[in-house]
C-alpha cells in the first residue's frame, strides 16, 4: 500500500483529494494545522469508506515543524516512504498592493510557496531512492493570469508553477512526476465569501466547480495512467481561462 501526504487535507479540496486517494488504495496522511475537528472528520470519512489513514499536524510554513513531524512519521514507519505528495495547503489574504501590509504578503508567500519548498525538498530524497514518486501541486487560476487584489497569492502560485516545471525536469529520470492542478472558482471555504451568482456569469460553464472535480484530476495524476505526464499544469476552471 502506497502512502500519500495531502497538506491542508482537513476541508474542501484537500478533503476531497484525501477521499479520492484513499479510494484508489492509498494510505493517506491528512495534514492540518489548527482545525483538528475537521481533520478528524476527514479521517472518519476515509475509514467509513473502507480505507485508512492518519492525521499529521504541522504548519507547512514552519520548516522546523515540517521536518520534525515528517521525521517522526518516518521513524515510526521504517522501510516506508511517502510516495505521493499533494501540496494543497494555502491561504488567501486579499488586498490591493497599495494597501497590502507586509504580513499579508509574507504570510501568503510563506504558507503557499515556502511551504511547498520545505515539504517537497524533505520528501523528494526518499522518492529518488525509491525510484518512484508523484508530486502534485494545487495551484490556482490566480497563478496563471493574476487576479486583482491577489498580487501576493498570484505571486505565490505562479512561483509554484515555475518550480513545478523545473523540478519535473530534475527528477524525471528517477520515475518521479511533478505536475500542477490549477482550479478556478471552486465551492470551498476559500471561496465562500465570493459572490457566486455574479462570478459564474464569467464562466463558460456558468457554475462554480466542486472539490471532487479537482480531486478527480489529482487522482489521475497520482495514478499509473499518468506515468508519462510531467511538468504539466492542468486547468480545472470551466473554461474561464485556457
- Tell me the CA end-to-end span of the chain in Å, nearest whole number: 36
**137/158 Cα distance (integer angstroms):** 11
Task: Report the candidate in 5, 19, 13, 130 with the shortest Cα–Cα distance to residue 69.
Answer: 5
Query: Among the options 81, 153, 228, 241, which is catalytic?
Result: 153
> Catalytic: 81?
no
The DSSP secondary-structure symbol of 204 reads T
Give the helix/strand (H/E) hosting 197.
helix 196-199
Grid cell 514552519 is found at 62
Return the residue matching grid coordinates 489548527.
34
For residue 151, give every residue at least 6 positions away whose Cβ sits within 8 Å of its Cβ, in sequence order, or none: 97, 100
Q: Check: CB of residue 155 under 8 Å from CB of residue 103.
A: no
CB 153 within 8 A of CB 142: yes
* DSSP bridge pairs for 6: 30, 86
Under a CB-based contact definition with an 8 Å cutoff, are residues 167 and 178 in contact? yes
What is the sign, positive or negative, of the torsion defined by CA atoms of 150, 153, 157, 163?
positive
Catalytic annotation, residues: 153
Amino acid at each position: 500500500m502506497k502512502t500519500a501526504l495531502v497538506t491542508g487535507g482537513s476541508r474542501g479540496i484537500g478533503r476531497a483529494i484525501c477521499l479520492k486517494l484513499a479510494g484508489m488504495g492509498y494510505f493517506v496522511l491528512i495534514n492540518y494545522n489548527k482545525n483538528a475537528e475537521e481533520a478528524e472528520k476527514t479521517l472518519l470519512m476515509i475509514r467509513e469508506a473502507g480505507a485508512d489513514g492518519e492525521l499529521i499536524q504541522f504548519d507547512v510554513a514552519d520548516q522546523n515543524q515540517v521536518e520534525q513531524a515528517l521525521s517522526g512519521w518516518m521513524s515510526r514507519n521504517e522501510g516506508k516512504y511517502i510516495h505521493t505528495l499533494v501540496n494543497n495547503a494555502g491561504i488567501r489574504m486579499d488586498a490591493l498592493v497599495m494597501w497590502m501590509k507586509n504580513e499579508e504578503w509574507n504570510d501568503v508567500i510563506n504558507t503557499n510557496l515556502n511551504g511547498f519548498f520545505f515539504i517537497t525538498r524533505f520528501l523528494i530524497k526518499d522518492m529518488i531512492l525509491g525510484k518512484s514518486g508523484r508530486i502534485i501541486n494545487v495551484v490556482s487560476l490566480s497563478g496563471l493570469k493574476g487576479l486583482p487584489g491577489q498580487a501576493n497569492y498570484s505571486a505565490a502560485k505562479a512561483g509554484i508553477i515555475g518550480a513545478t516545471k523545473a523540478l519535473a525536469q530534475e527528477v524525471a529520470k528517477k520515475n518521479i512526476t511533478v505536475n500542477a492542478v490549477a482550479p478556478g472558482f471552486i465551492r470551498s471555504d476559500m471561496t465562500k465569501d465570493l459572490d457566486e451568482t455574479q462570478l459564474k456569469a464569467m464562466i463558460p460553464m456558468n457554475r462554480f466547480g466542486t472539490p471532487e472535480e479537482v480531486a478527480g484530476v489529482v487522482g489521475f495524476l497520482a495514478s499509473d495512467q499518468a506515468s508519462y505526464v510531467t511538468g504539466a499544469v492542468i486547468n480545472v476552471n470551466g473554461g474561464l481561462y485556457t
